[in-house]
Amino acid sequence: MEAAFCAYGIERSYGKHCILKNCSIEAARGECVGIAGRNGSGKSTLLSVLAGAARPEKGELRYLDRDLLKSLRDISSVVAYVPQTNPLIEELTAEENLRLLGGRRVKMEEAVLRKLQIGEFFSKKVKELSGGMKRRLSIACALTEPRPVLIMDEPTSALDLYQKEIISDYLSSYLEDGGIVVMATHDVEEMRFCDRLYLISDGTSGVCSVEQAVSTIKGV
């Protein structure tokens, strides 16, 4: 399949410490791409660059024929980003968080809310929700308007089986509709869910098998 969302030669440093030296990934429509690596390898840094939350010192980021690094607006119109840290406002309800992040657009994607089963807790305050409910709400907030690329950092980390299944089912439907998912993960089940898996090691990236990723993460 032809790549639609691509990053080439990404370099990113914090102070004098180089985190990413030469990272590249490609993803086609309908494809789930995993980013694996040991803690501190740069997975979250790469995702933040792909989502426009951090700017690389070098490299390219493209969606189809668009150079996304030319404008933050271009990235935000293409990419929905769900960071590992909960971005929700605890004192507000699920509905209020959705409306705050969605602004005037909120009609909010009804299919997204239905598939993520947000109706279960639509009127509850975020502080009353379980970790899995918060994760589902974070995904819905990122997709208050349709975007072709969904980037997620450890999407089901520490969630129970019920919550994982809801999120997995939603991601499957998103991919079936031609969306692209890029996720950082150390979870073997999530790695097997991916169509392609990249391993970040020593600041560079390369395609790998699940077994290779697990071996590296464990330091075997």
Domains assigned to the chain: 3-84+148-218 (3.40.50.300)
**Residue-wise pLDDT tens digits, 7-63:** 999 999 988 889 999 999 999 999 999 999 998 899 999 999 999 999 999 999 999
Confidence of residue 207 (pLDDT cuts 50, 70, 90): very high
| Res 104 pLDDT > 60 | no
> Which tokens is 174 given?
């998103």
Coil, strand or helix at 180: strand
- In angstroms, rounded to a whole number, what is the distance separating the alpha carbons of residues 75 and 78? 5
The two three-digit tokens of residue 219, written as one number: 């330091």
Distances (CA, A) of 20 to 59, 82, 120, 184: 11, 21, 41, 15
The two beta strands, 32-36 and 180-184, are parallel
Q: In which band, very low, low, confident or very high, does the pLDDT at 108 lie, cut at 50, 70 and 90?
A: low
Report CA-CA distances (Å) from 23 to 7, 163, 205, 215: 8, 32, 5, 20
Q: Which of 104, 132, 103, 107 is nearest to 118 (CA)?
A: 132
